[in-house]
């Protein structure tokens, strides 16, 4: 794989190809696709392997080693999937929002790619959180679903993800067809939707809800250490896998753009 | 002549103002929903809320220790829901969820009758934020004491 950018650019004009970074800030350095790829290529398997190992250990400890809960019994074990899924569902939208801000203000094309890469994994974990929560709720609360503040705001997050993916797809197609009108719509939507994240977080504090309040708050934990250790490990492990998947998806999207550009050059020639 | 602001700084300021405004609007709206978006009334709130008898509501609180009384028909139970600010007697006929025990949280769906009884059609057990292993059910830490009485054999 050649890395040189002399002569002609491998990316369409929307992407900054200047290999020269002398007068640019550090942030601009990371916005350069070539430099990004040279970091992302080794980082992807490193994150993935570490994450998978951590999740495997955490799930083994959680499913076989940790004790059953005093009241919930064995159903407490779904915690080791549900909590990381909820965390990543919200973290996914937070990264969409931050990347959208960078895209809108500094016009970095890689930021838009990062935002679009975060959407599908975020939506997956959001859906996983809702599904595992529902399965846990049936034996614990006695119902699959209630319309309380926490559950409803999490469902809204899933719909926001679906809306964002549809928008990002449409604006991508527009850009490919040479129309530029909708280019920033997905980024604006990503920023506006971020309002839901603090609402999800505060929903159990502001409103009486069937969902229990946070068990871990600012250094205090109402979760026994026997449950907490595997849980912390599962959260970190799933987060590393999440990071690896986002890097993979960003590389795929960049490759798509390159293919598109090459096809266009061939068609023009 | 004032020096022109860089375009990206202008965008940053504009987007920040717009986002902060939007965030404030969203949070204020969510905060204002306080009453409407709450999933249930607590006994204390119910006393202040002037709910009509027969109106469908949900009541949530702790099941008072020692208050669950089985009626003669075998399927009806009476118990008291408390929240530290008030108590409401509840009557329910049917199968209770596994986590429904004295001293733990409950959300009852139903309506007040004229005699001041809450007649529940459905009971939901509310789990609290404490996760305690079965073997440690007798531990004395403050967190567990807070929910004293939840000790039950599953």
Question: DSSP letters along A134-200, please?
Answer: HHHHHHHHS-S----HHHHHHHHHHHHHHHHHHHHHHHHHHHHTT--TTTTHHHHHHHHHTTHHHHH
- Identify the band that residue A75 occupies on the pLDDT scale cut at 50, 70 and 90: confident
Give chain A positions within 8 Å (CB) of B56.
none
pLDDT of A23 reads: 40
In this structure, is residue A23 part of a structural domain? no
Q: In chain B, which residue's Cα lies nearest the Cα of A69? A: B133
pLDDT of A22 reads: 38
Beta-ladder partners of A73? A69
Q: Tell me the C-alpha distance between B120 and A169, whole Å.
A: 48
| Segment B44-59 mean pLDDT | 83
**Residue A72: which H helix or E strand, with range?**
none
Give chain A positions within 8 Å (CB) of B131.
69, 76, 79, 215, 222-224, 227
**Residue A50: which H helix or E strand, with range?**
helix A33-60
Q: Most confidently modeled of A65-74, A202-211, A233-242, A253-262?
A: A233-242
Q: Which percentage of chain A shows pLDDT scores above 90?
A: 48
In this structure, is residue A85 part of a structural domain? yes
The overall average pLDDT reported for chain B is 79
pTM beyond cutoff 0.95:
no
Contact across the interface for B8 and A198, Cβ inside 8 Å = no
A74 vs A178: which has the higher pLDDT:
A74
Domain range holding A250?
54-213+228-263
Q: In chain B, which residue's Cα lies nearest the Cα of A210? A: B126
Phi, psi at A258, each rounded to 5°: -65, -40
| Segment A161-169 mean pLDDT | 93
In this structure, is residue A1 part of a structural domain? no
> CA of A209, closest CA in chain B: separation in Å?
5
pLDDT of B134 reads: 67
In this structure, is residue A48 part of a structural domain? no
Of A196, A199, A208, the CB nearest to B39: A208
Instruction: Using the Cα atoms of residue A150, residue A155, residue A157 and residue A158 in order, give the sign of their dihedral.
Output: positive
pLDDT of A28 reads: 57
Give chain A positions within 8 Å (CB) of B137.
70
Q: Tell me the C-alpha distance between A67 and A141, whole Å.
A: 21
What is the count of structural domains for chain A?
1
Contact across the interface for B129 and A199, Cβ inside 8 Å = no
Residue A142 has pLDDT above 70, yes or no: yes
Give chain B positions within 8 Å (CB) of A93.
none
Q: Tell me the C-alpha distance between B89 and B78, whole Å.
A: 7
Q: In chain A, which residue's Cα lies nearest the Cα of B129? A: A215
A171 vs A162: which has the higher pLDDT:
A162
Give chain B positions within 8 Å (CB) of A192.
22
In this structure, is residue A3 part of a structural domain? no
| Contact by Cβ (8 Å): B89, B130 | no
Q: Which residues contact A72 (CB under 8 A, 6 or more apart)?
A: A139, A140, B99, B127, B154
In this structure, is residue A17 part of a structural domain? no
Contact across the interface for B34 and A76, Cβ inside 8 Å = no
pLDDT of A99 reads: 94
Give chain A positions within 8 Å (CB) of B135.
67
Of B30, B127, B136, the CB nearest to A224: B136
> CA of A205, closest CA in chain B: separation in Å?
10
Contact across the interface for A222 and B129, Cβ inside 8 Å = yes
> CA of A200, closest CA in chain B: separation in Å?
10
- Identify the band that residue A11 occupies on the pLDDT scale cut at 50, 70 and 90: low
How many Cα neighbours within 13 Å face the side chain of B48?
7
Phi, psi at B108, each rounded to 5°: -110, 135
Contact across the interface for B107 and A70, Cβ inside 8 Å = no
Of B15, B101, B134, the CB nearest to A101: B15
| Segment A29-45 mean pLDDT | 84
Give chain B positions within 8 Å (CB) of A139.
98
In this structure, is residue A172 part of a structural domain? yes
Of A69, A146, A198, the CB nearest to B134: A69
Give chain B positions within 8 Å (CB) of A212.
126-129
Residue A13 sits at the vertex; the CA angle it makes with A7 and A16, to the nearest 5 degrees, is 75
Q: In chain B, which residue's Cα lies nearest the Cα of A108? A: B8
pLDDT of A55 reads: 96
In this structure, is residue A4 part of a structural domain? no
pLDDT of B101 reads: 82
- Establish whether this prediction's ipTM goes over 0.85: no
Q: Most confidently modeled of A91-105, B26-40, B67-81, B122-136?
A: A91-105
- Identify the band that residue A13 occupies on the pLDDT scale cut at 50, 70 and 90: very low
Of A105, A192, A206, the CB nearest to B30: A206
Residue B56 has pLDDT above 60, yes or no: yes
- Identify the band that residue A149 occupies on the pLDDT scale cut at 50, 70 and 90: confident
Q: In chain B, which residue's Cα lies nearest the Cα of A102? A: B12
Other beta carbons within 10 Å of A112:
26
């Amino acid at each position: 794989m050649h890395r040189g950018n002399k002569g002609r650019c491998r990316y369409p004009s929307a992407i900054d190809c200047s290999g020269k970074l002398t007068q640019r800030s550090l942030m601009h350095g990371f916005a350069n696709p070539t430099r990004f790829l040279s970091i992302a290529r080794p980082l992807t398997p490193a994150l993935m392997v570490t994450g998978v190992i951590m999740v495997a250990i955490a799930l083994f400890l959680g499913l076989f080693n940790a004790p059953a809960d005093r009241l919930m019994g064995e159903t407490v074990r779904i915690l080791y999937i549900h909590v990381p899924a909820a965390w990543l569902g919200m973290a996914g939208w937070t990264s969409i929002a931050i990347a959208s801000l960078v895209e809108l203000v500094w016009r970095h094309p890689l930021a838009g790619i990062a935002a679009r890469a975060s959407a599908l994994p975020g939506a997956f974990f959001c859906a996983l959180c809702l599904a595992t929560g529902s399965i846990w709720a049936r034996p614990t609360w006695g119902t699959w679903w209630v319309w309380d503040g926490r559950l409803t705001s999490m469902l809204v997050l899933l719909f926001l993800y679906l809306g964002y993916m549809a928008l990002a797809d449409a604006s991508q197609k527009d850009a490919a067809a040479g129309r530029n009108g909708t280019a920033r719509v997905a980024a604006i939507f990503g920023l506006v939707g971020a309002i839901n994240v603090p609402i999800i977080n505060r929903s159990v504090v502001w409103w009486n809800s069937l969902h229990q309040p946070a068990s871990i708050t600012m250094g205090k934990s109402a979760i026994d250490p026997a449950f907490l250790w595997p849980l912390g490990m599962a959260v970190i492990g799933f987060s590393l896998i999440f990071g690896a998947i986002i890097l993979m998806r960003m590389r795929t999207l960049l490759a798509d753009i390159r293919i598109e550009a090459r096809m266009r050059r061939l068609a023009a020639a | 002549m004032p020096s022109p602001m860089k375009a990206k700084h202008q965008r940053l300021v504009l987007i920040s103002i717009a986002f902060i405004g939007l965030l404030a609007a969203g949070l204020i709206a969510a905060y204002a929903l306080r009453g409407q978006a709450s999933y249930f009334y607590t006994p204390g709130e119910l006393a202040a809320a002037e709910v009509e008898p027969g109106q469908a509501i949900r009541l949530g609180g702790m099941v008072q220790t020692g208050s669950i009384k089985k009626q003669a028909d075998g399927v009806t139970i009476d118990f008291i829901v408390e929240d530290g600010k008030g108590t409401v007697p509840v009557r329910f006929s049917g199968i209770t969820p596994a986590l429904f025990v004295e001293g733990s949280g409950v959300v009852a769906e139903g309506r007040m009758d004229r005699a001041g009884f809450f007649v529940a059609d459905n009971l939901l057990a509310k789990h609290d934020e404490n996760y305690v292993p079965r073997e440690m059910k007798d531990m004395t830490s403050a967190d567990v004491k807070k929910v004293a009485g939840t000790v039950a054999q599953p």
